[in-house]
Chain A
């Protein structure tokens, strides 16, 4: 009996020692492959799910392409990119707990997201206390202006695109009167207010600007009836989600509206075609570097990879592809110390000036936004304004944000 007990103990000790040796070897092997964790926090469920999911798929696709080349090189060392993704369901409470997990548990320093004003504002204390940088897709100027400095806007804001679009339509399409309709949420309402200010400065006649619809609305006939009655030259769909835009367009056209429709948010041509069909013709929206006529070969490769990861292309990805790339360019500029110290990252921001890898033409990609935020806290994504023609996005014009 004692002999058997002794043999059993020996076996147990043998397994423990073997497991210890294996873990040391495995740990050493992994330690040799350096990892750069990138966080992604955004809305990935509900009607606005595409906003966060597109962020996730963009990072996944880009990370795969970079990792296949051996990873990103920073100060002579290669790092494989690893994505840590959390769904905040567009809820500030979940955004805070998600960001806390990313920053404190996962030790992530660079996070893409969140997607709207409320969630982006809620995580500011966490990223500042935890020493992290995030790239939200929220337009509130307070996020990017002093005393704050850890957030970088990842796209063109509505108050940047709106004046440019309205001016273009006033000068080229004879627009004299304008109406606004917005979802009853802080982000779209802010965008609407900024749009109204821009329209006033341009001297446009504002027919109506107080019409709103509740989140989750699917039948826009009642609310659009009122807007269409005013018969403005242009109806602006402020802060409209890709799921709502085609329904609003369809309702307006079925109500007999013949004027122009526009938005300052990115849209998806497949959804527009499927839901609005022929009614989407002439709809104006802001896109990214996604129209084929301006894409570089690298962007085309990214598009194919994105389709593999996500199942299909989404035009929003043309805007959101920039986030990871700019993080990596800035880390390369700042050096290894920025992997753990975001102050080094922030110091390097004004120095980042690279050839835009996503555009066919030679254009500089850098941080911009000083004119709006008092500091360069915006990725200089080109402002590509699209118009739907024959079921496709065609570039109406390309602009840029002032430095």
Chain B
């Protein structure tokens, strides 16, 4: 039982961090960023090369991952999505573009980094035993850093000027524009932060899970699930969705035959969305 709870908590915190970036981009730009998993993967590779190969300090490497992915986020928003959002009449156009960017990043990564799984040594070693359950020190550090990042983001969004502008943009684009807010700048910032969060998640988790060029798709799928559970575009929903999925996975693998865990999770998700399509924290559309 204790192991199940610890697994759920650690998974939940990690998933929450991954989902936050996705929901942020969706809330501000109304773009479903299919490349979110690939951005996570790239963040992992940045840390692999800087910390694992070139022996940089881990925290510097993590900061570099955030900056690199923020840069990619700004590039994508400015040169790809901004134009399509302005000209397209249908939302599907941005979805298709997002899928294209996902494939682009994945194949670029395969070409640049090869096909192999990559990992780095844990930043801290050792295993803690808590009420008979095991918690590796590396996971404890990831949990702690993810927690700090989530708190940091929430404070940023709540109490800073750009953060308030992002919230305003998520609520009402036209009204925000009329208030004199530079929509393009805030959109770029939102995409940058969302991408940076994905990159940092990758940089944290490469110390625990390892990474390869194909890692992104599974991460994107789970990120979408969390966002659907919690409510698309709702920051608190993304956090909640992350924990719900994390605990479902931990409980499912502990108590059910492995092959049925995700079968039941998907079935439960379908039923849940039929009853509450906007997710736990989302508001009904229209």
Contact = CB atoms under 8 A, between A and B. Distances in A.
Interface in B60-116: 106-107, 110, 114-116
B110 A222 contact: no
Contacts of A24: none
B136 A254 contact: yes
Interface string B199-241: 0000001001110111101110100000000000000000000
B117 A275 contact: yes
B3 interface: yes
Contact of B110 (A45, A255, A271): A45
A222 B120 CA distance: 21
A50 B213 CA distance: 11
Nearest to A54: B115
Instruction: Give the most central of B127, B139, B253: most A CB within 10 Å.
Output: B253
Given A212-B258, A223-B253, A47 B215 contact: yes
A211 interface: yes
A45 B118 contact: no
Contacts, number: 119
Nearest to B222: A216
B134 interface: yes
B133 to A, nearest CB: 9
A218 B258 contact: no
A225 B253 contact: yes
B60 to A, nearest CB: 20
Nearest to A257: B134
A188 B62 CA distance: 36
Contacts of A274: 52, 117-120, 210
A270 interface: yes
Q: Which interface residue of A45, A46, A48, A271 has the most chain B CB atoms within 10 A?
A: A46
Given A45-B110, A271-B116, A274-B52, A247 B210 contact: yes
B250 interface: yes
A10 interface: no
B11 A184 contact: no
Contacts of B118: 271, 274-275
B214 A225 contact: no
Interface string A250-272: 00001110000000000010110
B115 A212 contact: no
Interface in B261-278: 261-262
Contact of B127 (A211, A213, A254, A276): A254
B121 interface: yes
A82 to B, nearest CB: 22
A184 B249 contact: no
Nearest to B15: A219
A163 interface: no
Contacts of B213: 45, 49
Interface in A271-293: 271, 274-277
B187 interface: no
Interface of B: 3-4, 7, 10-11, 14, 52, 106-107, 110, 114-122, 127, 134, 136, 139, 205, 208-210, 212-215, 217-219, 221, 249-250, 252-254, 257-259, 261-262
Given A47-B215, A243-B212, A246-B210, 17 more contacts: A46-B214, A184-B258, A184-B259, A210-B258, A213-B253, A214-B259, A219-B249, A222-B253, A222-B254, A223-B253, A225-B7, A243-B117, A254-B134, A255-B134, A256-B127, A274-B117, A312-B114
30 contacts: A44-B115, A45-B107, A45-B213, A46-B214, A47-B214, A47-B215, A49-B212, A49-B213, A53-B114, A53-B115, A213-B253, A216-B217, A219-B209, A221-B7, A222-B11, A222-B249, A225-B3, A242-B117, A243-B116, A254-B134, A271-B116, A271-B210, A274-B118, A274-B210, A275-B117, A275-B118, A275-B119, A276-B119, A310-B114, A312-B116
